[in-house]
Structure 1
Amino acid sequence: MSQRTYRAAIIGTGGIAHAHAQAVQASGGRAELVAVADVDAGRAREFAAKYDVPHAYGSAEELLAAQDLDFAHLCTPPALHTPLALACLEAGVTALVEKPPTLSLAELDTLIEAESRSTARVATVLQHRFGAGALRLRRLAADLGRPLLATCHTQWYRDAAYYAVPWRGTWESEGGGPTMGHGIHQFDLLLSVLGPWSEVTAVAVRQARDVDTEDVSMALVTFANGAVATVVNSVLSPRQTSELRFDYEHATVEVEHLYGYTDDDWTVTPAPGHEDVTALWGADPSSASSGHSGWFAAVLDAFDQGQAPPVTTADARQTMEFIAALYASAFTGERVRAGQITADSPFALRMDGTGAPWRNQK
């Protein structure tokens, strides 16, 4: 039986769109990029020419009306994710949405409800779940013993020039600061490994950047399985790093990288008497990076099997609820439990909820 080739489009042809185009190209013919769209029609045409895409449009509406698609990669600024995903669902096209998927928990619930009425799906691009090291870590969970504690640090550096882009640094356009747009990759991987979280205590501050959102946040997290973790998100750190450390009963497993890891970035330190863990970890080495290609391959596998593509809206909701809880704890000074942010909570409607404490500062 011949292999099916899925028809893909990219909406928004800025920087991250190139990673998506390259992932489609690397799919080995399992998908083809048939169209792109951007509000800057000239940029759309240039992007189409670069990747040999036959059709370029000046709007998502034009593209969705003209093309018969299996899925659309949404690579626009975050404020456009929800309306574009809704348009895709209405057209019966699965939306593959860059992070963060929405600006708020309420918007995500709107997508979940719309998805229930559509033949299509919504999936969030959180590619670090699909790197070889993350897949191996989840697979070896029973051999590692009970998870005890973890640290998750995203310490990056973004200067004033980065925030000069008009849609960056505001609650209305990005939904938050490094908690929403930068650290989400690392703590989403943390959540995918440790499972449901149960409680968050956090701080979020604006230390140095002239923006509306926080530029640093920190959280103490308790998980349903009893594990505890610290989470740090920063855009003020000149030595940039993305670090995850998991301390299990039988081993410590660590990864340090920046924007994508390979097997070379992971280390395993066995506890005395559990040296076999090292051999188990090294049994299936991989040279692949935790980039968009691995995630996209998982999407195509799900399509082949008639399943919802990863990361599903249910998966994304766990991560988005964690973000809302972090902000709620930071801005109210209270511990926040899973399930506590209900539909009528101000932190469900906006991530800044009752308002960042610095909002009236000069």
Structure 2
Amino acid sequence: MAAAATARIRAAVVGTGGIVTGSHLPALRDHVDRVDLVAAVDVAADRLDAFRATAAEGGTFAVTGYSDVAAMLEAERPDLVLIGTPPSLHREQTVAALKAGAWVLCEKPLCLTLAEYDEIAAAEREAGGPYASVVFQHRYGSGAVHARELLAEGALGQPLVAHCQTTWHRDTAYYAVPWRGRWETEGGGPSMGHGIHQMDLLLHLLGDWTEIRGMAGRLVHEVESEDVSTALVRFANGAMATVVNSVLSPDEVSRIRIDCADATVELTHLYGHRNDDWVYTPAPHLRDEPARQRRWRTPAADLPSSHGAQLTGLLDAIRDGVRPPGSGQDARRTLEFIAALYKAAFTGQPVRAGEIVPGDPYYDAMHGNHPAWAPKAATATTKES
């Protein structure tokens, strides 16, 4: 249901760890004129108490603490639930919030499989919400909005060649956290947990993909999932792209580059971007046309990519009772892309958009029960059945 234009949104957070305290809480503070944070849920009492104290600083939010999501939903009936728990909990908590009538903003990945995504979609209401959105904050900086507008209107010419790079570094201590590196709890490796942001932004800029070929490996870390993946991608508009996801890279960088007929647009950053991180280079035949190049310049207003920038659009959608960006088929496309990357990498065969449907092993598990990649228990269950 659409909220009244003057109504304040009653919000709750599920999980009070670093991502919620460091990103979601500042985003809520940025929108204190529209939102009241009324509740928080965490199974760790000390972490919950610390979060409540931080939220109360400056008299901003008076937050009631809960150890159970169902109890919080029953007692508070929030309009919006922000979820920052480990990935294996996302589907259950998102569905519970939707069924309680709350809109959801959930950390990536929204869920672990396409089957889980479709279960979440079934819990949404057909019109007016509530809807579930994924945190894809890199779409929302002013530089990204400007680049997408230029590409959509053809101001850079036909997109031709692209590169998407998430080359980060994670050590063995990072994987000592029990739920990391495991299919059942994290859903995948850097393709699912790290590169998902840049891959989502690439799809946001270039549109629908049609075919993917991939490779994946465990080169350093002793984990179930991969620690590096690469892909070749063809888009519906004819553009071709390379994609690299790694947690093995000492020189960490996040990068997207799109070569169009008239200009190259390149974004280089790490965990977030501003206008200055976007660079436009004209093709030789346009280097003497400054008027055309002026159109490419990023806007004077510099809105960094952030949870707060995405929250603005979500609050507007709640007010208007419309589906927000980063939800529905828009977000499902990114998850399908990752499932297809895994299928292509593990089978050695090209995968086309739309082919992973119910009955396909990669619909129900990102590892597809592949004997070289699935956990031994999953492989044994498949053989027995």
TM-score range for the pair, normalised by the shorter chain length: over 0.9
Cα distance between partner residues in 1 of 2:251 and 2:292: 31
Matched-pair identity in %:
47
Cα distance between partner residues in 1 of 2:24 and 2:250: 28
Whether 2:277 is the aligned partner of 1:265: answer yes
Cα distance between partner residues in 2 of 1:292 and 1:309: 14
From 126, 133, 156, the equivalent of 2:136 is: 126
Query: Which residue is 1:87 aligned to?
Result: 96
2:368 touches 2:374 (CA, 8 Å); kept in 1?
no
Query: Which residue is 1:315 aligned to?
Result: 330
1:207 touches 1:215 (CA, 8 Å); kept in 2?
yes
Shift of 1:298: 1.2
Query: Which residue is 2:46 aligned to?
Result: 42
Cα distance between partner residues in 2 of 1:2 and 1:196: 34
Whether 2:153 is the aligned partner of 1:155: answer no
1:144 touches 1:277 (CA, 8 Å); kept in 2?
no
Cα distance between partner residues in 1 of 2:373 and 2:100: 42
Shift of 1:291: 1.1
From 217, 229, 236, the equivalent of 2:248 is: 236
Q: Which moved more, 1:234-243 or 1:306-315?
A: 306-315
Shift of 1:360: 8.2
- What secondary structure, in the 3-state scheme, does the structure 2 residue paired with 1:69 have? coil
5+ residue gaps, structure 1: none
1:196 touches 1:224 (CA, 8 Å); kept in 2?
yes
- Count how many residue pairs are aligned between Structure 1 and Structure 2: 361
- What secondary structure, in the 3-state scheme, does the structure 2 residue paired with 1:198 have? strand
5+ residue gaps, structure 2: 57-61, 377-385
Cα distance between partner residues in 2 of 1:125 and 1:358: 28
2:55 touches 2:63 (CA, 8 Å); kept in 1?
no
Cα distance between partner residues in 2 of 1:41 and 1:261: 35
- What secondary structure, in the 3-state scheme, does the structure 2 residue paired with 1:298 have? helix
- What secondary structure, in the 3-state scheme, does the structure 2 residue paired with 1:16 have? helix
Cα distance between partner residues in 1 of 2:317 and 2:94: 19
* TM-score where L is the length of structure 1: 0.96
Shift of 1:4: 2.8
Shift of 1:359: 5.8
From 188, 204, 208, the equivalent of 1:192 is: 204
Query: Which residue is 2:379 aligned to?
Result: none
From 89, 96, 101, the equivalent of 2:110 is: 101
| 1:1-362 equivalences in 2 (<5 Å) | 3-18=6-21, 19-52=23-56, 53-116=62-125, 119-141=129-151, 142-274=154-286, 275=289, 276-282=291-297, 284-355=299-370, 357=372
Look up the equivalent residue of 2:276 and give its one-letter code. D
* TM-score where L is the length of structure 2: 0.90
Q: Which moved more, 1:278-287 or 1:21-30?
A: 278-287
- What secondary structure, in the 3-state scheme, does the structure 2 residue paired with 1:138 have? helix
Cα distance between partner residues in 1 of 2:136 and 2:371: 27
Cα displacement string for residues 165-219 of structure 1 (whole angstroms, at most 9, x for unaligned residues): 1111100000000000000000100001110000000001100011111000000
1:262 touches 1:286 (CA, 8 Å); kept in 2?
no
Shift of 1:286: 3.0
- What secondary structure, in the 3-state scheme, does the structure 1 residue paired with 2:144 have? helix
